[in-house]
Amino acid sequence: MPQVYKELDVRPVLREGGEPFQDIMAAVQALKPGEGLRLLSTFKPTPLLPLMNQKGFSNEARELDAGDWEIIFSPIAKQAAHVAVSSGAEDASDWPEPLWQLDLVDAQAPVPMEKVLSRLSLMEPGEVLLVILGCEPAFLATELESRGHRWVGASDKSGKIYRMLVRVG
């Protein structure tokens, strides 16, 4: 299926001394899933490019006649979330439901490690703990494995939340 692009020409607004940022953001919000945006401008909008990348769009910019610019914003294909697993946890599908949950999204190191290890010390072998963190816990994962626990974890789509299931070893 060919890529569909909505067109937004902000050259008249710019030539009149206006600021088209709100119009551009409104056009982006109005895009249907999978649609792109063809933006026509009087200059290459360099500050807009990383913002659009954060919103899930790649870009191709080319200069047109008379110094105008065409910028094609194409949606970036979503990649499947990467799920990290400890040794021995490759198939966690048969794990029981978590008995406990720790929401440590706002906690700063070393608090998450301390709370997780403390909770695990109160649990029986085979029980599962759900941990919700603000980032991927590199040191915690290593410590869990060294203590014989198994875990699986992944970030959400935004990359701001990391969920981890820990099975007591």
For residue 63, which amino acid is it? E
pTM for this structure?
0.55
Domain count across the chain: 2
Exposed / middle / buried, residue 11 (Cβ in 10 Å: 0-12, 13-18, 19+): middle
Evaluated on CA atoms 152, 138, 88, 117, the torsion sign reads: negative
pLDDT tens-digit map of 98-128: 999 999 999 988 999 999 999 999 999 999 9
Pair (115, 132) in one structural domain: yes
Question: Which is nearest to 76 in space by CA: 1, 3, 154?
Answer: 3
Q: How confident is the model at residue 95 (pLDDT cuts 50, 70, 90)?
A: very high
Pair (24, 56) in one structural domain: yes
**Would residue 126 be called left, alpha or beta, if left means φ above 0 and alpha means ψ between -120 and 50 degrees?**
left
Residue span of the structural domain in which 61 resides: 5-75
Residue 83's pLDDT is 82
Residue 153's pLDDT is 92
Last-in-domain residue among 75, 94, 121: 75
Last-in-domain residue among 22, 57, 75: 75
Last-in-domain residue among 51, 75, 99: 75
* Residue percentage of the chain with pLDDT more than 90: 71
Pair (94, 136) in one structural domain: yes
**Would residue 88 be called left, alpha or beta, if left means φ above 0 and alpha means ψ between -120 and 50 degrees?**
left
Pair (163, 87) in one structural domain: yes
Pair (71, 88) in one structural domain: no
